[in-house]
Amino acid sequence: MVPTETTPAGWTEDLVRFLESQPEVAAVRVNPAGRKVSVATLGPVDAEQLALRIAEVVRAIEHKLAEGGRSRAAPAGFVVRQSGATTTVERPTCVTAPGFWRWTDYNLAPEEDGREVEHGDEWRLLSVLAAGCGGAGLAAFVAGRLGAPGGLVAVLYGAALVAGGWDAAVDSWQNLRRRKLDIHFLMLAVAVGAVAIGAWGEATLLLFLFSASGAMEAFALDRTQREVSALLHTAPKLATVIGPDGAEHVVKAEELKVGDRMLVRPGDMFAADGEVVKGQSSSDESTLTGESVPVEKLAGAPVFSGTLNLAGVLEVRVLRLSAESTLQKIIRLIQTAQKLKAPSERFTDKFGAGYTLLVLGLTATMFLVWWLGFGLPAFRNEPGQFSAFYRAMTLLVVASPCALVLSIPSAILAAIAWGAKHGILFRGGAAIEKLAEVDVVALDKTGTLTTGELAVVSCESFPAGRERDVLEFAYALEKNSTHPLARAVTRHARKAGVRLREVERFESITGQGVRGKFAEGSVILGRRELVAAGPFASWLEKMPPAHAEFSEIWVLAPGLIGRLLLKDQLRPESRGVLAALASAGITTVMLTGDRRHAAEAVARESGVSEVRSGLSPEDKVAAVDGFGRAGHKVAVVGDGVNDAPCLAAAYVSVAMGARGSDAALEQSEVILMNDRIENFLAALRLSRRARRIIKENLFLSLGTVLVMVTASLFGSVPLSLGVVMHEGSTVVVCLNSLRLLLGKNR
């Protein structure tokens, strides 16, 4: 390859950032067309985390390809090489270092093409094999009892063993090529050993139960995948675009560009994230947020890819490319979460490899002890006495950790799937385990405990009795404004059903308010200072200012003065959620930058345990750190944008309203997609239930192993009983984990 000074579409920055974040990686080679990546490493690496980071880099490059871009100069100090479609970036190094690099290739399967990875065929195939094993084995047993020829019985048992051991043999061969031993190898070894001593029936029973439990495991995985795959199916494929000439034409969703105007009819899916520019309707966002109540859509309202337009015809301006839509980001989050393992799951993975060798060593040792030490027959069973090899095979079966290996990942995957279906995203198993441990919950006020949207709570007029006129003037002047106060006034006026007065001339008064010309004369709307500057200054001094928790808008019209009082509304569910947290023994703390009076008013209304007001972002971080130093596990619930430093300092970070917030998707470990505080309670209950089920699974799996191993070492346990207990515990663990999918967790 020949060094080059530039690289297409500005890939250099992405690759350099990747190298800077991965000090163990010396070079990276990317071919995005073939979705192939090779990395050169020095020393040990975390292969799983490295693969996830590589996937992120490839996606970033693909997005730049889709958007186009100019070539950019290579940064100083890095060597950039281009060969065809392959780009290589190397960090500064000595000339001899490349000789020590270890190159690893990754083939990354497409994740964003809207196709589901099918798991249904796997459990169905395993079920057929298990049924074939059971049927042939039962036929062989019956034939033997009826005195059928030995050749026929052997053929039937042979067919049963092939069907029951086929999947285990395929997996074992693949692992042996990687010099790895696993449970499948142990099961095949036991089956071969049982056949060697003439225990055809026990060998068949073992492989039947093993293949049946494998089918159950695959079914559990398929069940969890189906909960998530609905998101993939909701990703729309086509969109109707309105051209500059007003003509309509249908394009693929991935061909949409930012700024395009989509026409969305009732019953159509929104093909991209955007903003309503014309029309009125409502949308079903349950696939995205888990919320079944339709959401009203007016001009200026956001819409999200994959949600359903229910009523009217809408024109929507595209704000994000299809690949960068909220739906696609959620899909990628879920796919990543299912790959990230919980701490306890990583422990069992490390434990499993050593445990397999320990079991093989113990089995071989005990065979010699029983044979040479206790004088038992080596391979031939005698009346009332099992051979040493028979006992060793039984020990090998009961000590195999099938149920233990499945006890944690089966529960974690089920919890992630349930959460995704109900608008709660966990960024991996660690988030589920950590959330169950929290004893302090710190909440932001605005947008978390409150709705974040002001609402008109009072309308006053002087003289009294003309409140409707005050609201009509305010409605006419604020109708076209996007300011939060204006939106609140407009929303209140529409609900009240007041008429819309005609404004002849409109003028904005910078920093103070607005002025409009009506049939009755000139009308001014604005802050208290605007009214106080006029002839009513002395009168206004007698009017007490609004309480700290209220905002006020004054209206000054011919023969009329009025004001509207507005307040950020407490979420109706906040009080119940905080009461439930308190009953669970969790301390709740409000961390807010608002004034003390406003914060305390919300605290009294919501029932939060402790209030800390007037805090800067640095003060919030210090407060969270203080709880941590005191030995508490703190979950911070915020909006994911202005609370980002505080979220980063938390033991568990939880984001509200992530549908429109990239920061929330990137920073938080738990994301409440439907912007509802009660879903935090659901997430907490789900995590605690998942932890309880994991403990039950561990107790069941380890308990079964300990009891049966002890019985095998100090007693005479039939191989058939060991098989039933071992495989039965595996099936029970899978079924127990599936309870997380079936429960309400609310």
Marked catalytic residue, from 444, 469, 639, 675: 444
φ/ψ bin of 302: left (φ > 0), alpha (ψ from -120 to 50), beta (otherwise) = beta
β-bridge mates for residue 454, sequence order: 568
pLDDT (tens digit per residue) in 55-80? 666 666 655 555 544 435 555 667 77
Q: In what order do the strands lie in the sheet with 521-526?
A: 450-462, 560-570, 551-557, 521-526, 513-518, 505-509
Tell me what pLDDT residue 107 has.
55
Q: Could you confirm whether 349 is annotated as catalytic? A: no
Percentage of the chain beyond pLDDT 90 is 8
- First-to-last alpha carbon distance for the chain, in angstroms, is 59
The least confident of 35-39, 368-372, 537-541, 600-604 is 537-541
Longest dimension (CA), the chain: 116
Cβ-proximal residues to 496 (8 Å cutoff; 6+ apart), any chain: 468, 471
Four-CA torsion 728, 732, 734, 735, nearest 10 degrees: 140
User: Which is higher by pLDDT, 138 or 186?
Assistant: 138
Tell me what pLDDT residue 8 has.
41
Mean pLDDT of 521-545: 73
Query: Does 657 have pLDDT greater than 70?
Result: no
Max mean pLDDT range (74-78, 217-221, 566-570): 566-570
Q: Are 409 and 218 in contact (CB under 8 A)?
A: no
CA-closest candidate to residue 337, choices 438, 425, 260, 399: 425
Tell me what pLDDT residue 678 has.
84
pLDDT (tens digit per residue) in 468-507? 999 999 998 888 776 667 888 888 898 888 888 888 888 8
Tell me what pLDDT residue 399 has.
83
The least confident of 193-207, 245-259, 565-579, 702-716 is 193-207
Max mean pLDDT range (262-266, 310-314, 671-675): 262-266
- With bands split at pLDDT 50, 70 and 90, how would you rate the model's confidence at 203? confident
CA-closest candidate to residue 227, choices 402, 387, 413: 413
pLDDT (tens digit per residue) in 149-161? 888 888 998 899 8
The pTM assigned to this predicted structure is 0.61
Mean pLDDT taken over the chain: 77
pLDDT (tens digit per residue) in 114-135? 333 344 467 788 888 888 988 9
- With bands split at pLDDT 50, 70 and 90, how would you rate the model's confidence at 4? very low
- With bands split at pLDDT 50, 70 and 90, how would you rate the model's confidence at 634? very high
Query: Does 37 have pLDDT greater than 80?
Result: no
CA-closest candidate to residue 306, choices 347, 271, 264: 271
What are the structural domains, with CATH classification, of the chain?
A: 2-107 (no CATH), 120-226+340-381+400-412+701-742 (no CATH), 238-324 (2.70.150.10), 423-450+571-688 (3.40.50.1000), 451-570 (3.40.1110.10)
The least confident of 20-29, 267-276, 607-616, 684-693 is 20-29
State the residue for tokens 């051209």: 243
Name the residue type at position 11. Answer: W
Query: Does 369 have pLDDT greater than 70?
Result: yes
pLDDT (tens digit per residue) in 226-235? 555 555 555 6
Max mean pLDDT range (187-196, 198-207, 565-574): 565-574
Mean pLDDT of 359-373: 88
Retrieve residue 614's tokens. Answer: 């007037």
